[in-house]
Amino acid sequence: MTTTLVDRYVYTALRRVPEQQRADIDRELRASIDDAVDARVEAGESREAAIETTLLELGDPDRLADSYAGRRNFLIGPELYGVWRRIMMMLFTTILPIVVVAVAVIELFADDVTVGSVIGAIVTSTIGVSVHMAFWTTGVFAVIERTGLGQAELKGKWSLADLPKYERGALSRLDFAGTLVWPVLAIAALVLQQFTFTDEPLLDPANWSFWWPALIVLTALKGVWALWVYRLGRWTRQVAIVNAVQSVATGALMVYLLATDKFFNPAFTGFGDADVDLRSWITVVVIAGVVLGSLYDSFDVARKAEQARKGLPARVPGTGNTYSIG
């Protein structure tokens, strides 16, 4: 028996259909194809052209089989997608940075630490943790999507209270939490590298007489500033000026220590015995990062304050449009 183009299409569709449904779907699908082909032939097409056009309109036989079998051809549907996206955003913006910093700090205090081993630990932990978070979170949601277990609890009942507040310039809770996390991690890392896990700290211990406590105070003030902005609920010139003073003071302190070779501990041997002066290269890179970061932070907050003062339209995330939000 010669296998026709219609036979090949039908067989391809049936292979993804449960066996007990194949006979019925075979008859239904062939009848549908024959009716469409006959209609095209009566309209003047040749039978071969009519068959090809009909099959092309039916589309991918695998997708057609999924529709016959009532099988979902998506991993996470629209009912759970919003919850999945919010959880993924929280994991990658909050949990991942904390884990990566913790891994870096632990690696920093290892006995045979080198700059390369710290960088390697950061890269591998970032990739590994990201893959695991994305895979397992998506896998759990895919199971929930197909079994329905816990779906009602995840979706919850939406109310008007769930609408975001689009106040101009106010820090969202997520922004506020993120602004607080980094000062806490920076202070913890500064203290732990000195007093735990290693005999030779990375940073110069002589600075505990003044410079490190001063840096801790300036870093903590960033958290206080974030709390002030969050409670104030808007950007103002006073907010921008205080932020600029704090950023410049912190940056100037770090640049001074780096430029005068008072930042890293002279007794620290973790930079290795490479042909290049790794400590000097790292110093230049950190200085550049500190200067650029301080300038950008000051400019960004000043720009927001000026926009708020002039009542300029602000872009609402996710809309692609700008609106004047009072």
For residue 141, the model assigns a pLDDT of: 83
In sequence order, the β-bridge partners of residue 264 are 203
Query: In which residue are the tokens 């919003």 written?
Result: 82
How far is residue 36's CA from residue 31's CA, in Å, rounded to a whole number?
9
307's tokens: 């926009």
Nearest in space to 156 (alpha carbons), one of 204, 86, 94, 209 = 86
In order along its 326 residues, the chain shows pLDDT tens digits of 456 888 888 888 888 777 788 888 888 888 989 999 999 999 888 988 998 889 888 888 887 877 776 666 667 777 777 788 888 888 888 888 888 877 877 776 666 666 667 777 788 888 988 998 889 888 888 888 777 766 666 666 656 666 655 554 457 777 777 788 888 888 888 888 777 656 678 888 899 999 999 999 999 999 899 889 888 878 889 999 999 999 999 999 999 999 998 888 888 776 665 555 677 788 888 899 899 999 999 998 998 888 877 765 555 444 444 544 44
Between CA 93 and CA 137 the distance in angstroms is 15
- What pTM does this model have? 0.50
The pLDDT, as a whole number, for residue 320 is: 45
Position 123 scores a pLDDT of 85
Largest CA distance in the chain: 96
Counts for the chain of helices (H) and strands (E), in that order: 12, 2
Q: 19: burial class by Cβ within 10 Å (0-12, 13-18, 19+)?
A: exposed
Q: Give the integer Cα–Cα distance in Å for 172 and 153.
A: 25
Structure confidence at residue 111 (pLDDT): 63
CA angle 12, 13, 14 (to 5 degrees): 95
- pLDDT number for residue 247: 93
Amino acid letter, residue 18: P
Quick one: 178 exposed, middle or buried, by C-beta within 10 A (0-12, 13-18, 19+)? middle
pLDDT at 326 (0 to 100)? 43
Give the C-alpha separation, 264 to 206, whole Å.
10
Map out the domains of the chain as residue ranges: 5-69, 74-163, 172-326
- Which residues 6+ apart lie within 8 Å of 203 measured at CB? 190, 193, 194, 212, 263, 264, 265
